């Protein structure tokens, strides 16, 4: 079963989550995981002004995803930071290039899920994931969230991301906060859950 993890990460938080998800999914026998990023649309000059140039260059080792790879996948997990309660423009640009897959029904019946990040605790993580779900539904995909079987999202002893819609992390206003172990475990759980559903559907 081919599982594809596609992400965009401006400062590295979502990449950390994506790598944790990939490692967890690879623990499932019969699952082949490919990690890809969407292409950057901002110039080096703009990225430099945002303080994101170093993080962007550090991701050069991760290949840019193609539409063909999306079509070949049996299950897909998407990761995106939040921009005003929605996905990033970079992720949207990639999704907008997949109209041909919609025309062919190439993604119908395949499971898909989303994880996200935001600067603040209530910065739009849930709305980002929920609005991303509309893409999955238009493509005829089976939406897979983060069930309450992962009880880490019930914690109140620490600030943490995570909801039934998908795993998430809080980056902090200056981006200094890295994903916590609880948040990483959330995306690992979601990745394994998605992989297991992908195996069942493919089988």
pLDDT digits (tens, 9 = 90+) for 86-109: 999 999 999 999 999 999 999 999
d(CA 27, CA 24): 5
What pLDDT shows up at residue 103?
97
Q: Predicted confidence band at 119 (pLDDT cuts at 50, 70, 90)?
A: very high
pLDDT digits (tens, 9 = 90+) for 61-91: 999 999 999 999 999 999 999 999 999 999 9
DSSP H or E segment with residue 168 = strand 168-170
Higher pLDDT, 142 or 176: 142
Q: List the single range of 12-16, 41-45, 101-105, 121-125 with lowest mean pLDDT.
A: 41-45
pLDDT digits (tens, 9 = 90+) for 34-60: 999 999 988 889 988 888 888 888 888
CB 17 within 8 A of CB 183: yes
| Other Cβ atoms within 10 Å of 135 Cβ, number | 20
The predicted model scores a pTM of 0.96
What pLDDT shows up at residue 105?
98
CB 135 within 8 A of CB 110: no
What pLDDT shows up at residue 31?
98
Residue ranges for the known binding site for substrate are 102
What pLDDT shows up at residue 146?
98
Say whether 179 sits in a helix, a strand or coil.
coil
- Nearest-5° angle of CA 197, CA 199, CA 203? 120
The DSSP-derived string for 97-166 is: TTHHHHHHTTTTT-EEEEEEEESSTTSSHHHHHHHHHHHHHHTTPEE----TTSGGGG--SS----BTTB
What pLDDT shows up at residue 53?
84
| Other Cβ atoms within 10 Å of 61 Cβ, number | 7
Residue ranges for the known binding site for FMN are 9-14, 82-84, 138
CA 8 centroid distance within chain: 8
What pLDDT shows up at residue 54?
87
Residue ranges for the known binding site are 9-14, 82-84, 102, 138
Furthest CA-CA distance within the chain: 49
Domains of the chain: 2-202 (3.40.50.360)
Residue ranges for the known binding site for NAD(+) are 11
């Amino acid at each position: 079963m081919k599982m594809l993890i596609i992400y965009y990460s401006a400062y590295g938080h979502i990449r950390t989550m994506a790598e944790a998800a990939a490692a967890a999914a690879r623990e499932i026998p019969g699952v082949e995981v490919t990690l890809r990023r969407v292409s950057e649309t901002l110039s080096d000059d703009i990225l430099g002004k945002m303080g994101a140039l170093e993080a962007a260059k550090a991701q050069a080792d991760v290949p840019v995803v193609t539409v063909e790879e999306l079509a070949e996948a049996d299950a897909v997990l998407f990761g995106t930071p939040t921009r005003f309660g929605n996905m990033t423009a970079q992720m949207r640009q990639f999704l907008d290039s997949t109209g041909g897959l919609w025309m062919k029904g190439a993604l119908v019946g395949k499971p898909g899920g989303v994880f996200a990040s935001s600067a603040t605790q209530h910065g739009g993580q849930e709305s980002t994931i929920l609005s991303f779900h509309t893409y999955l539904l238009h493509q005829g995909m089976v939406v897979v969230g983060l069930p309450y079987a992962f009880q880490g999202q019930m914690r109140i002893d620490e600030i943490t991301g995570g909801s039934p819609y998908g795993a998430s992390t809080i980056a902090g206003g200056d981006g200094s906060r890295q994903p916590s172990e609880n948040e990483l475990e959330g995306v690992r759980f979601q990745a394994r859950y998605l992989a297991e559903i992908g195996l069942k559907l493919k089988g």
